[in-house]
Structure 1
């Protein structure tokens, strides 16, 4: 009995006993030991695996957090990059606009220079090369002053004539046959040719005085000037009307003491006839010539009148 191992198995049918020899006992003991060792090793491996798994899960969570952080940072960078791209686009557009503005300013500067040169040529003043705003203002004031004078006093042609028959001065009267002062200029023209006012003014007389001038229109202008248009066929304005320079006031004819169709044109200052020729030739380019050519008018006092007393240095 010492060398035998009895194993008892109990079931519902009863108990049975089995005897094992020494080798069998060793095998069973070895099996038990191996099972116990395997159990402890398995438990150790399970615990270690659990720890490793927990560590891996923690690492995974950290990686996940880092990934999400990187995604957030990338999104932030992308937004900043988009804002930077938008800012660069705006800067580029502003740069392009500034370049276009510079081109326009250059064109305007060139245009202003050309206009100033044309205005200086028109006014017959020296070209200074100055294209400043002050220069433009000075030339504009000068032009306005000259235009005011040219609209206020007689200048230019009263009619598109065929030719001049007689000028101002002493001549043999064609009907009286004796020397008399011819007080104006006779312009040969077909009957019905338009006659124009040579300055702004008011109609002092429109009709026939029976004084040899036939049908006539007399205009009263600024600064004591008058103009007379005689031997007319038809008047289109009446006494008291205001007229402007270049306005049609009559049609030429052959009425009164006339030897043929023509317009007799006179310029008077304080009722005194003066030679119309300098006034006919007077314009904005030769503006200053009238003040030295016509000496019977006291021009010096004009400079004291407004707006002619504005300082202008061409």
Structure 2
């Protein structure tokens, strides 16, 4: 009996049977096998494709991060390049300044003497080496005096609240001498020594109304007072140099507001500090004519090369 393949299909209308020969059965089986194999191969390829796409997506993210990092590195290089350009400009400017300074220092001695106002009456035939030595000595002496005698501002800013002389005291309302200058300033403003010296007092001064007070002793009998300080940065017996930070302004003692009270005294005699504040190398002679309470003649005898200075 020939082998046959019978296929039964059942529907709502009943069942039907189909008879296939053995060859047709093989073909149907082969078709089903190939369909199943194709299904599994397609799924495998789909999974591999999905994994490949996921890998490509990760590579895309990595490339984007590297691109962003490269942009940041490029920006950093540009910033460094700009900074180097700025530094080059600064160095070039400083070099130009130094060249100008060298030219100025190489100027004729007579011009320098004219600027300083010294040695102008020397004979024209005086050898240049002698003029140079005398000019150097005179300059050193002037700088020594400018470091020894109070000069310049003790605090940043040039506005003066109360000047030297008699005034109505803002607290007692009585007319009393005001022996210094008042510089209005916010609490904590730096205060500087106006000449080299030694600290005579650094602390709270009872009874004077000065509050926290610094007194500096300088050469030639001069003293400076710095009152109403908030903080003191020096101690008694300490040596200080001109321009050194010694304290910070405040409102201690009898004071109506934050400020620095500054005095210049000579042998305990209060002097008007304004000429001392204005005094410097450019107007060296001015102090010795504006302050008459100091015997400048004896100082002139000590420093004869300061022509135009103390007489």
| TM category, shorter | 0.5 to 0.7
Structure 2 gap ranges (5+)? 1-101
Q: Match for 1:299 among 296, 299, 302?
A: 296
Shift of 1:168: 0.4
Shift of 1:288: 1.4
Distance 2:179 2:308 in 1: 37
Q: Match for 1:260 among 257, 260, 277?
A: 257
- 8 Å CA contact 1:112, 1:131 repeated in 2: no
Secondary structure class of the residue paired with 1:266: strand
Partner of 1:123: 116
Alignment of 1:1-314 (within 5 A): 114=107, 116=109, 119-125=112-118, 132-161=128-157, 163-210=159-206, 211-305=208-302, 308-309=303-304
Distance 2:224 2:308 in 1: 32
Distance 1:188 1:311 in 2: 36
Distance 2:140 2:151 in 1: 16
Distance 1:223 1:260, change over 3 A: same
Please report the TM-score for the alignment, with normalisation by the length of structure 1. 0.60
Shift of 1:112: 6.1
- Root mean square deviation, CA, Å: 2.6
Structure 1 gap ranges (5+)? 1-108
- 8 Å CA contact 1:162, 1:189 repeated in 2: no
- 8 Å CA contact 2:285, 2:308 repeated in 1: no
Secondary structure class of the residue paired with 1:206: strand
Distance 1:204 1:143, change over 3 A: same
- 8 Å CA contact 1:141, 1:312 repeated in 2: no
Distance 1:272 1:141 in 2: 31
Secondary structure class of the residue paired with 1:164: coil
The structure that has the greater radius of gyration is 1
Distance 1:311 1:196, change over 3 A: closer
Distance 2:292 2:299 in 1: 14
Shift of 1:266: 0.1
1:119-171 Cα offsets, whole Å, 9 max, x none, are: 33541355998882222222211111111111111011100036210110011
- 8 Å CA contact 2:138, 2:305 repeated in 1: no
Secondary structure class of the residue paired with 2:161: strand
Number of aligned residue pairs: give it. Answer: 204
- 8 Å CA contact 2:179, 2:271 repeated in 1: yes
- 8 Å CA contact 2:141, 2:306 repeated in 1: no
Please report the TM-score for the alignment, with normalisation by the length of structure 2. 0.60
Shift of 1:290: 1.1
- 8 Å CA contact 1:232, 1:250 repeated in 2: yes
Distance 1:236 1:118 in 2: 42
